Structure formats: C-alpha cells, structure tokens
Chains A and B, each alone.
Chain A
Amino acid sequence: METNILGGSTMKNDAADGLKDVRIQGRMKTAQRVGLSWIKSSTHEQPYWNPYQAGVGIGVVLLAAFVLMGRGLGASGAFTSLVAAGVDTIAPQHVHSNTFYENYLGSGNSSPLKDWLVFEILGVIIGGYVSGSMAGRRRAFVEKGPSMTSRGRMAYALLGGLIMGFGSKLARGCTSGQGLTGGAVLSVGSWVFMVTVFSGAYATAYFVRRQWL
C-alpha cells in the first residue's frame, strides 16, 4: 500500500483516516514551527540503516566513553537521579532515611541533576530528534499494531514502563548500562541480565501479541 509521510494511506482514504491526516498535519506544522530550522527535515521517510552499521556506531560511542571517562553509557540511572531529586525536593527527610535515593543525591554540594548520565540522556534526546528529523521519521502518533486501540496501547506503555523501570533498578541498570556497557567489559551479571531480559520478553510476547501483530 502506498503511504505518505503524514501517515495516511493514499489508496484507501476513508473519513476517519482523513480526519487523522488533518490532525497529524496540524501537529507536524507545530513541530516544524518550534523545531530547529537548521536541521534539514526530510519530507520523505527514509529507510533505516543496516543494523550492523548502527551497531558499530553505538559501539564506537561506547568505546569513546570508556576511553574518555573510564565508564560506559546508561539511561535508567538518569531517571533515577530525576526521581531522587524530586523526592528530595518534596520530602528531604524521607530521602535521607533511604540508601537507594541517597546514593543518587551525590555529595550534596551540587544538584543531583548535575550528573553525567542526566547530561548524556539530554544528548540522546537531541540525537534522536536530529536523526528522526533528517530521515523524515519525526511524526506525532501512537505506535502500535493495526488491531490495537491507541488508548489500549497507551495503557500498555504506561504499565510496561512501570514494570520495566522497577526491573531496571533491581538489576542495577538497563539495556544501556548493563547490556551494552557491562556486556562490553564482560561483566557476568550483565550477561546474565541480557539473557534474562530476552527470556522475559520472549515469554511475554505471546500474551501481548494483540498489541503488536
């Protein structure tokens, strides 16, 4: 089926699709207005890179982090700093009675948000935005399989995010901090983590197939 950049199909365009097109078009315009004009937005959705090419790119970035900083990349840690900073603002006593939060507050001399991973994640958001814009993939919509409602997908995303966030803390990191970083330095726990992440996801896939297939 032929499709256009705004997500509507050009062959079968019923009333609901048309309405959605108008809505998406409006959002696109807003995005372009607030977007950075120097990034040349592609109007045609380009194919993804070969996975090995993207993988080497990420590997070189990870290697650069080791060489420059002596540490790897991460993601969930940045959000833990955010949570710890938030709880510290609302209930400082509560934070200091909990070693989990306390570990993310740093020395106390500067903001817990002045953290390496927080800055790295800000970069990730910029990098994703630049790449998506250049490839014509920056569009506001809910990504899901054809037989799922948007509301249902949002509920799954919220619940899945919650479960995943909890799991990442129990495992002391996520697919970036444990998987990539720990994987490259051959940490045993990181490889155990990766095997169990894939096992957990394959075991769950059947039960949530309506969301994706």
Chain B
Amino acid sequence: MSAPLYPNGFLSENAGLAIAVILGIAFGFFLERGGLGSARKLAAQFYLTDMTVFKVMFTAIITAMLGLFWLSWLGILDLAQVHVLPTYLVPQAVGGLIFGAGFMMGGYCPGTSCVAASIGRRDGYVHLLGMIAGIFLFGEVFPFLRQFYNSTSLGPITLPQILGVSPNVAMFLIVAAAIAGFSLATKVERWAEHRGFPSSKGNLSTHP
C-alpha cells in the first residue's frame, strides 16, 4: 500500500499544489463540458425540465466511490488514510437548506460560479462577490453560532455504519438507487417537457 501518496510522504508540498492546479483544470473543464457553467441549466433541475445536475453529480460520486473501493481491494490504496468528513447533523442539515435556497436564487454553487465567471457570465462574477460577502458575514457572526455549529457531532461516521450494513451492501444500494434515479429523471424530463414546462435545452443563445 502506497496510496494516498501525499500523506505518505511521496510528494512535496509544492508538488501537491501543482497537482491541485492540474486537478482543478480537469474539474473545471468537465463541469463546463457538462453544462454546469450555465445558470439556466442548473436552475432547470428544479423545474424538472433538465436533470443534468442530478445525473452529473451522482455519476461522479459513484465513479469515485467504486474507484476507491476497487483500488483498496487491489491493495493499492489505504482507505484508512482517506479523510472522511466528520458529521454535525443539525447544522449541516440547516446549512444545506440555506445553501439550497441560495443556490436557487443565485443560480450557481461555489464551483460552478467560478466556471460561469471564467466563460464571461456577468451574473457569475456578481454571484462570487455575494458568496465572499456571505462567508464574511458567517465569520462575523460565528462567535454567536459557535455552539450550534459544533452541536450534534457524530464524528467521521459513514452510511454503512449508521445503517448497520457492510460497505459493500451500502455501495450496491447506492448504485442501484442511482440507476433507478437516472431512469426516473429521464422520465420526469420527458413528462415536464410534455406538460409544456419551459426548457433550458438546446442553444443557450436563445435568451442572452
């Protein structure tokens, strides 16, 4: 077992930063390729006419999840050294609801607003400014939110642990649910278009 490389001392700090730029370029490239630099395409997810956000996100999660599993099974990667984000149940749920409402209003999430700005969307620039202001606002009120922010701490707990099943079973269920979800999403798109919901599909120049 030698991977992950950086925590095991195979890479210098500067090599790590170079990797950050390279992986970032690929990340931004694929986000834009999928159409996630377009606010109307992102928003269409929530008017049911274009489920691209759901399809891209869950395909990416499953790809990385299965990749981690196979590399660990082959003995290449030590999963114990892959950082699992700790869970703070209630603040994360409340944060998610706030985030979702802001996403719907602003039209982007943090990563996609960078992509939108990079291809000239002026609402993308403004969205980035708003996000910086929002983070600053959070920082300023943090002393008052600190207790809530650290509440309902469950540690680095995973879905198989909390469901009491083996990781393999959990992964199988997630893949099965995603495949069913993809098929359902396509059906919903067709239904919404049939109902005459405005669609964001096709050439984006239609409403510049």
Contacts and interface: CB of A to CB of B under 8 A. Distances in A.
Contact of B40 (A65, A204, A212): A212
Nearest to B152: A189
Contact of B60 (A49, A59, A71, A193): A59
A185 B85 contact: yes
Contacts of B124: 143, 157
Contacts of B5: 67-70
A166 B7 CA distance: 31
Nearest to B202: A47
Contacts, number: 583
Contacts of B23: 61, 64-65, 68, 73, 120, 123
Contacts of A209: 47
Contact of A61 (B27, B145, B205, B206): B27
- Size class of the contact patch on chain A: 35 or more
Contacts of A68: 3-6, 11, 16, 19, 23
Contact of B85 (A27, A55, A173): A173
Contacts of A167: 95-102, 134
Given A165-B138, A185-B68, 8 more contacts: A66-B4, A114-B17, A127-B25, A158-B106, A163-B99, A175-B57, A185-B85, A188-B161
Interface of A: 1, 3-9, 20, 24, 27, 31, 45, 48-49, 51-73, 75-76, 79-80, 82-84, 86-87, 98-101, 114, 116-117, 119-133, 135, 137-146, 153-154, 156-205, 208-209, 211-213
